Amino acid sequence: MIKDRGQKLINIESILARIAQRDYTVGVVGLGYVGLPLALVFAEKGFDALGFDIDEMKIEKLHSGKSYIKYISGERIKKAVYSGNFSATTDFSRIGETDAVIICVPTPLDKHWQPDLNYIIKTTESIAPYVRKNQLISLESTTYPGTTEEVMIPIIEKASGLTAGQDFMAAFSPEREDPNNPNFSTATIPKVVGGLDENSSRAACALYGEIIVRTVPVSSCRAAEATKLLENIFRSVNIALVNELKIIFTRMDIDIWEVIEAAKTKPFGYMPFYPGPGLGGHCIPIDPFYLTWKAKEFGQSTRFIELAGEINTFMPDYVMQQTIAALNDRGKALRGCRVLIVGLAYKSDIDDMRESPSLRLMELFKEKGASVDYYDPYIPVVPKIREYDEFIGKHSITLEQVSGYDVAVISTKHTEVDHTIFAKNCPLVIDTRNALGKGYENVLRA
């Protein structure tokens, strides 16, 4: 049940009326792969949307009508800016101009695999002095159950002197962005919403309901936080299962890809998941461990989550082992070899390389004495990233430079890339994504 937090001073009916009339300014903090498309949708639906980010480069590009995310076109940004409905700033004092503030910042793990809430904490500290009465504050960053009430709200209350549920509203609504998914976009993916209290829930559902096909209200912020974790834990565990089966079936000389294709013909009780070189993206490799950490507070262990994590984390090492074995069969040692990683993004057809297993593969091969390059048409140069500093600034090779490598490892399968080029120009190809299928003597599916 949504809590009753005492005397209600918020005029909820007036707020709902303003939302329905689009007389409501929405601030979106964090203009990355989640925040930018969300802000654009609000602007496209007739709301005034004000984006906030600490990166001045992003703000300059947006005001020039340029995009820094592959699947968001510059034309879409220009249209939003020129309509007058969208603008962006690094000035967090302008939070007071907004009626709702939606926080979309990263939630990584630290080097000890513990939740790192620094982005949430610093962002909340930045907005807190400017939060005013009747505002709605919605957190979208994936995190452990309790973060909204235990971390975000106390910071705001202390800095603003306001009380959540009486002076301002708060909610958690997990992002469900799937970059470049041709079937679903921000506006067409149902939105789970958990409010701090009844007014918060009504306001958040009304606001999201104006731009998204369907809102799914749940009983609390904690329930909404747990929903997002369940979604990603489900995927992590099943991907780990099929990765483990790939290793076992390979030893048995059974083609895992053939088995999956056969199994998915069953019209009920089965959902296909596919093996790969490891997990990437901001969600699946990270989010399950937020629950693992929180569960310890309640004296509980998360054995499935931790085992899945072990398997998925091991996959780059498995790919390297398979590569070493294949090279040995050809009378070559990995040390001194030229290795080409094909695909740096964490999944097909995007330019997002957060937590990409390709980076771990590059590191592993380099540690073993190989020289390592990469090819990815969507990532011409490695940008500033939180880890793997040694690769920052490294440039992608061109397809004209493919010949001369001892082995190419296909880590990401981009639709527009002709992977036969690598099979024709490299003496050995390690295919972790079944990009080439069967029929090549020099291709090992690993």
Could you say which of 104, 205, 283, 426 is catalytic?
283
Tokens 């920052």 map to which residue? 392
CA 266 to chain centre: 30
Strands 48-52 and 191-195: unpaired
CB 49 within 8 A of CB 39: yes
What angle (nearest 5°) sits at the alpha carbon of residue 178, between those of residues 286 and 204? Answer: 90
Residue type, 178: D
CB 101 within 8 A of CB 131: yes
Q: Which helix (H) or strand (E) holds 187?
A: none
Calculate the dihedral angle through the C-alpha atoms of 21, 24, 29, 33, rounding to the nearest 10 degrees: 10
Tokens 């596919």 map to which residue? 274
218 token code pair: 């749940």
CB 124 within 8 A of CB 103: yes
End-to-end CA distance of the chain: 49
Q: Which helix (H) or strand (E) holds 303?
A: helix 303-329
Tokens 């506006």 map to which residue? 187
Residue type, 255: D
Cα–Cα dist 266/243, whole Å: 20
Tokens 């890339």 map to which residue? 417
Question: How many angstroms separate the Cα of 32 from the Cα of each of 127, 147, 181, 325, 352?
Answer: 18, 21, 16, 40, 10
Q: Give a three-class secondary structure readout of 106-142.
A: CCCECCCCCECCHHHHHHHHHHHHHCCCCCEEEECCC
* Known active-site residue 205: no
Rg (Cα) of the chain, in Å, rounded?
A: 24
Q: Which residues does 28 contact at the CB level (< 8 Å), separation at least 6?
A: 35, 36, 38, 39, 42, 49, 50, 51, 52, 102, 104
Cα–Cα dist 181/174, whole Å: 18
Cα–Cα dist 426/402, whole Å: 7
Active-site residue set: 283
